[in-house]
């Protein structure tokens, strides 16, 4: 059985790690290079780096910072934010990223998914989807949650898979930063809609939430930010807890 992955997320703004609630009210959470090293040493399975204002501010992801982080860690490292071309991906992979995640640019130009998968392989492409539930429908949002689209979460995830995405990173905007648990009903439906790994994001507040998203939510990986950044949960302790609960994890 494949092990479930625990993935800390570094949301980057102005070169620093930040964290908000429901995509707003950002606060400083530490130096990204230092945090990356701590998480690699604590036993994180992967690391995700998201330059959260790159698309909104119409600039590219910070390749130099990616290079600094990659030089200090020995776990898979995914980078997203402001990626809109095959050349952007090439630069980030050369800077030390193992995978890239695309979000807004893929919605605006779905062919980008095909192009990246064809050039570099599906294994290094994550389709990141930010979605919000209103009146029972999950709508996809762009530009760091600023712009609502007509796209529906499950339809878009399926299209992303068909175009060559290797994983889906789904962030529930309703749950983001609330620490009330992941969007497990939607996550379960998502995992039953596509045949590629699902990374849960948005809502982690305690160890039980991770257990629930791996069981009720049927996720392959769970991503969190503030509970790791501010020391509320240690990755080693979380993995030991999950192992005791018979969740397959890499200890």
**Residues paired with residue 73 on neighbouring β-strands, in sequence order:** none
> Is the separation of the CB atoms in 67 and 93 below 8 Å?
no
Is the four-CA dihedral 106, 148, 52, 220 of positive or negative sign?
A: negative
8 Å CB contact between 145 and 173: yes
Catalytic residue, candidates 11, 51, 88, 220: 11
Indicate if 11 belongs to the active site: yes
> Which among 223, 224, 221, 222 has a CA at the least distance from the CA of 197?
221
What sign does the dihedral 115-116-117-121 (CA atoms) show?
A: positive
Total Cβ atoms within 10 A of residue 6: 26
Of 88, 130, 176, 220, the active-site residue reads 130
Give me Rg for the CA atoms of the chain.
16
Tokens of residue 118, six digits:
């064809």
Positions marked active-site: 11, 130
């Amino acid at each position: 059985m494949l092990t479930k992955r625990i993935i800390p997320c570094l949301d980057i703004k102005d070169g620093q790690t930040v964290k908000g609630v429901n995509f707003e009210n950002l606060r400083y959470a530490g130096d990204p290079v230092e945090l990356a090293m701590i998480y690699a040493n604590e036993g994180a399975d992967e690391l995700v780096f998201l330059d959260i204002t790159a698309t909104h501010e119409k600039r590219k992801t910070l390749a130099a910072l990616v290079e600094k982080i990659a030089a200090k860690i020995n776990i898979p490292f995914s980078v997203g934010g402001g990626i809109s071309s095959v050349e952007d991906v090439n630069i980030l992979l050369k800077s030390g990223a193992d995978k890239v995640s695309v979000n807004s640019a893929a919605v605006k130009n779905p062919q980008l998914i095909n192009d990246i998968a064809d050039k570099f392989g599906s294994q290094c492409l994550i389709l990141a989807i930010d979605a919000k539930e209103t009146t029972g429908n999950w709508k996809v949002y762009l530009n760091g949650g600023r712009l609502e689209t007509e796209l529906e979460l499950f339809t878009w995830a399926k299209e992303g898979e068909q175009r060559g995405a290797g994983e889906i990173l789904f962030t529930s905007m309703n749950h983001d930063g609330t620490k009330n648990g992941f969007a497990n009903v939607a996550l379960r439906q998502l995992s039953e809609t596509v045949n590629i790994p699902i990374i849960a994001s948005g809502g982690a507040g305690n160890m039980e939430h991770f257990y629930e998203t791996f069981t009720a939510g049927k996720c392959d990986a769970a991503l969190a930010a503030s509970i790791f950044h501010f020391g509320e949960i240690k990755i080693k302790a979380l993995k030991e807890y999950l192992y005791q609960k018979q969740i397959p994890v890499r200890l």
